[in-house]
Structure 1
């Protein structure tokens, strides 16, 4: 990737010309074939930290050690604004994601409590039943469009049950989630948030008046110590959680299914050892490492120097999670999937105060997908003459994946 000439780039005067690169998060060369390999090419070709004029102009950190440090250092790298390009002024905060400690902890606590390992374990039979039903439905057909027929069915069914919302509402909710996490412009994302808020307002009011034991009731009645969360904050909080619950696990399952369709050797390894818990656990970490999803931005809090780079207060930076898993300084041959890898290093679920509270549930859903799908459909491939449709953005994803089997 070549340095852009000064005459074609508007850059702040504190950014050296030699650190400017032509990087667009929504249009990465090669991403139509392999999203994570396309990011790896950027990582290899660019400085560890560089600046791009695209999407409002922002820094990009490409190396795992820096990214992990930035994820943990909220004193310098704030979550105040996490999307690129920046949302319009006055846009409601994404609660609790666009909060820093200590404020963040008060809002996050009920989400963590609702997704603790013991509670997720109680959901296992439900998750497994949903997976089996979805697989049995497509099994006799010898084909499916995997994203609509399975990847979205499993996590969305489980999540809507967690928040006690009608499964039929997924037809309304899924397009909004897609626009929120992969909308190319701020207007598209803002419209999705406003429409989700309009959908939720009556439901939030009902749960505040008569709380139940569901996750949504817990979120919209958070006790902040000096009173409960306001109605507006409750709607904003519920909006963020629904967008996260409706999209990210589906994306991860989609990437894994695509990989296994393209790599029969790896697929056979898993089929042979589906009952080996330790092996399967490590294999899942390796698959997650190789197929990173989320990309959350940060705002520089104050002027300071970091590893030879001068940051100015208000600068935005993208320490993209997936760069950690594909960093050859942390993982040997990082684009190679090795189920025997001793310690897959990744940041797919973030680090520090903002580590993903849904990580336990996500891993459980991936494991159940592998066990139930591969025990019924051990041999499958991408339909000839079709190509998976992949997307990059704030959350990478697989939009379409046509599979066939004998």
Structure 2
């Protein structure tokens, strides 16, 4: 789009304006979405784009980290771009402290160590079964055949919803986390509410030990959650659980397919896998969440105004050369203290499912590499990546000798 002086507000200095549409990054980096994001590091630390309603972008780790925790100026009540008022109904993510705290406490029991151990066992059994079926074929579309199946089987078990509903739930999740169409996102939220209604009604009458029942029977400052609050927490859990780990698995498998030496090192040195997981999370960041200004605020000489949106791309944190040396290079030998990323956020809204996500990523390495040690991207089939509120690999064709 042509950018003119009329395209941006008067509090935006012209030298900070960029022509950057984060929904169109596949045009900049067909083979590396995160590298397309990193082109912003060639300019100012904070920039403004007229795309998607007009918004600021923080490009450096220190600013992203500060804004994530400064909820007095940078509120979570709008965390998606383009802006949608529906965000405030996504609990607890759409709330700021102290209001978000009891809702976060309501979902935390789902991620206790004993629960994680059980879920890791489900993930491992699922991965073994999938790899046993896939390995003799000599090829697969990794996203459909593995990445979308492993975490979704685990998550639908957590919430005790039918596995046969996986296909349409995944379709809704894809729209919720990557669509630029606000009306379409609102539509799938409404569909999810309609879908969940009979399950929530049944568990209000007869709670079980699943996560939906846990939410229904939780304590919100001395009272049970309202029906709308149950829907808000349940919908957020579902959309988050249905997509994030699947997307991360896609980027990790893509990297290992392109880097046989590192793949072989992970096969021969299993003790390296936890360290490698952190490095891959750093290099291939997913969420591109936003915040909304609660008041006029002069930040590092830039006049931000109440109601302005500012995006905090997590991949730019991990790819910041002021925070990580040689950030575009994946190095499994980095010291743990030298691997700086914000893959799961920070502060009051840090992802409660981070431990489970890490376990599932390592389960993939544990179960896939011994059975399919040498694989590559099939050049005759399309590799598809997409940016949006969450970066993702939509199609990853792999092949290997059998």
User: TM-score, structure 1 length as denominator?
Assistant: 0.95
The DSSP-based 3-state class of the residue aligned with 2:186 is helix
Segments of 4+ in structure 1 off by > 4 A?
89-92
Aligned partner of 1:339 among 332, 341, 345: 332
Change in Cα spacing, 1:403 to 1:98, as seen in structure 2 (3 Å) is same
Does structure 1 residue 111 correspond to structure 2 residue 110? no
Equivalent position of 1:208 in the other structure: 204
Q: CA deviation at 1:220?
A: 2.7
Aligned partner of 1:323 among 316, 320, 339: 316
Aligned partner of 1:294 among 284, 287, 294: 287
Equivalent position of 1:353 in the other structure: 348
Q: CA deviation at 1:181?
A: 0.5
Equivalent position of 2:173 in the other structure: 177
Does structure 1 residue 379 correspond to structure 2 residue 374? yes
Asked whether the equivalents of residues 4 and 20 of structure 1 are also in contact (C-alpha less than 8 Å), the reply is no
Does structure 1 residue 198 correspond to structure 2 residue 199? no
Quote the Cα distance in structure 2 between the aligned partners of 1:376 and 1:236.
41
Change in Cα spacing, 1:312 to 1:402, as seen in structure 2 (3 Å) is same
Quote the Cα distance in structure 2 between the aligned partners of 1:32 and 1:144.
20
Equivalent position of 2:49 in the other structure: 52
Aligned partner of 1:121 among 88, 94, 117: 117
Which string of whole-angstrom CA distances, capped at 9 and with x for unpartnered residues, describes residues 327-379 of structure 1?
11111111100000112110000000000001000000000000100011000
The DSSP-based 3-state class of the residue aligned with 2:100 is helix
Asked whether the equivalents of residues 220 and 237 of structure 1 are also in contact (C-alpha less than 8 Å), the reply is no
For residues 5-404 of structure 1, the aligned pairs below 5 Å read: 5-7=3-5, 9-28=6-25, 29-44=27-42, 46-87=43-84, 89=85, 93-274=89-270, 276=271, 279-342=272-335, 343-404=338-399
Q: CA deviation at 1:102?
A: 0.6
Q: CA deviation at 1:60?
A: 0.3
Quote the Cα distance in structure 2 between the aligned partners of 1:124 and 1:294.
23
User: TM-score, structure 2 length as denominator?
Assistant: 0.96
The DSSP-based 3-state class of the residue aligned with 2:394 is strand
Q: CA deviation at 1:91?
A: 7.0
Asked whether the equivalents of residues 220 and 238 of structure 1 are also in contact (C-alpha less than 8 Å), the reply is no
Comparing 337-346 with 384-393, greater Cα deviation is found at 384-393
Comparing 301-310 with 241-250, greater Cα deviation is found at 301-310
Asked whether the equivalents of residues 4 and 21 of structure 1 are also in contact (C-alpha less than 8 Å), the reply is no
The DSSP-based 3-state class of the residue aligned with 1:103 is coil
Q: CA deviation at 1:90?
A: 6.4
State the Cα RMSD in Å. 1.5
What is the count of residue pairs matched by the alignment?
Answer: 398
